[in-house]
Structure 1
Amino acid sequence: MTADPGNPAKTADGIFDSQPVGLRERKKLKAMNHIQRVAIALFDEHGYGNVTIERIAAEAEVSPSSVYRYFGTKEQIVLWDVYDPIAIKAFDDQLAARDPVTALRAVIHDMIDMMTRNDEEELAQRRMHYAMTEPAVRAGMDRQAAETEVTIRELLAKHTGRDPNDLELRATTAAIVAAFIAAVAYWHDTGYRDSLRDVIDGALVVVNRGLRLD
């Protein structure tokens, strides 16, 4: 049976064409989205461990070197998220007028709304399944979270005038990132029962009230 990646063109028009990047970059993002959808469909059908980069490339009708060039590793195919750079830029903009948690909640609401408009929520759930159940993907997610923590800390330092290594900045960013990871893990573990927006909001509320358990 041939894996069915869905209709990437449907989502690509909504996400990629509106981004302030050149035509070449938009084509690259569309290609990455297509490869990711093909890969997830293959993982669903055959199991993550049974699918090679070469199989993904053949099914996506691209060269293996293109897959490696775009993603680097198989786990990164799962973890790549087109919304990440959009969210970082939006978070930077929001920090000019809001505290970190309020800024992050506003950005996440916008990203989830965009994801919903582009029918991306099911894909996010399927990706989260592999992030939570495949050790290599989970390890990659942990590395990605550590990198995101550094990025957020640098943005907070820029907007507050503090040293990026300031202890309070470290504690704040660590709490925010840990809350986000806990939220998406809970979302997966509860079978995506609640909306992603509500789950992340709930976790960030705990951070915002000083980690007190009411």
Structure 2
Amino acid sequence: MTETTTRPLGLRERKKLKAMRHIQDVALDLFDRDGYAHVTIERIAAAAEVSPSSIYRYFGTKEMIILWDEYDPIMLSAFDDKLAAQDPITALREVLTDVITASMFDQDERTIRRRMSYIMEEPAVRAGLNRQADEMALELRTTMARHTGRDPEGLELRVATAALISAFLEAIAYWHATGFRDSLHTIVNGALDVLTRGLLVE
């Protein structure tokens, strides 16, 4: 793991992270039992023993309770670090390997699989994922522009970031569609292999 991924959290950060994990777990239990559409923020708040305003402050929307992933900022920061010496695909591959194969990810894989069902099957959550992907694309373009000197709004970085994000999204969609048969690490690496070699006729 990189230094970024192992930086110890402060007390306030740890408390916030613990609260967000708890709310997400409670919400998933309610969604599993009663269906996503039938569960409100207020019901989640009551079950989690927090105020609705706390949930809005932490997540913003109901779909973000599912989409929130504590590893996203870790991966973005590590990607920034690795880009100083590597090409984007190699950097992303190493970052995802670090996070996906980490023991902390292994401990949370059941939660991630539960989330995937709603991400792939609930239209509102899928729409939220698409918005999140657009935001991520902008962050990646900005990061890559800082390391390469290229225009973050130029065609080259737009295409490159769109390809990276699309590869990852298709990888997790395939992981879900195949019943989590193969490891996510294997599938993501396979998707990045396609980007590396291109669609060549053999």
TM bracket (short chain): over 0.9
Counterparts of 1:87 and 1:28, CA distance in 2: 19
Aligned-partner Cα distance in 1 for 2:111–2:78 = 23
Q: Do 1:112 and 1:197's aligned partners in 2 also have CA atoms closer than 8 Å?
A: yes
Q: How does 1:186-201 map to 2 (within 5 A)?
A: 186-201=174-189
| Residue identity (%) | 61
CA gap of 1:174–1:213, structure 2 versus 1, over 3 A, is farther
- Specify every segment of 5 or more residues in structure 2 that has no aligned partner in the other structure, as ranges: 1-5
Which segment is superposed worse, 77-86 or 43-52? 43-52
Cα RMSD (Å) of the superposition?
Answer: 1.4
Report what 1:127 is aligned to: 115
The counterpart of 1:31, out of the listed 6, 10, 19, is 19
Match of 2:143?
A: 155
For structure 1, the 5+ residue unaligned runs are: 1-17
Measure how far apart 1:211 and its partner are: 3.9
Match of 1:143 among 131, 135, 142: 131
- CA separation in 2, counterparts of 1:213 and 1:111? 33
2:16 maps to amino acid: K
The answer to whether the aligner puts 1:113 opposite 2:116 as a matched pair is: no
1:45: Cα distance to partner? Answer: 1.2
Say whether 1:47 aligns with 2:35.
Answer: yes
- Once the two structures are TM-superposed, the CA of residue 114 in structure 1 deviates from its matched residue by 2.6
Deviation string 1:92-125 (CA, Å, 9 cap, x unpaired) is 0111111101110111011112365551111101
Q: Using structure 2 for the length normalisation, give the TM-score.
A: 0.93
Paired with 2:194 and 2:183, the residues of 1 have a C-alpha distance of 17
User: Structure 2: how far apart are the matches of 1:117 and 1:164?
Assistant: 31
Alignment of 1:62-73 (within 5 A): 62-73=50-61
Q: Which residue of 1 aligns with 2:3?
A: none
* Equivalent in 177, 190, 200 of residue 202 of structure 1: 190
TM-score relative to the length of structure 1: 0.88
Amino acid across the alignment from 1:150: L
Which amino acid is the alignment partner of residue 49 of structure 1? Answer: A
Check conservation: 2:99, 2:105, Cα contact below 8 A: no
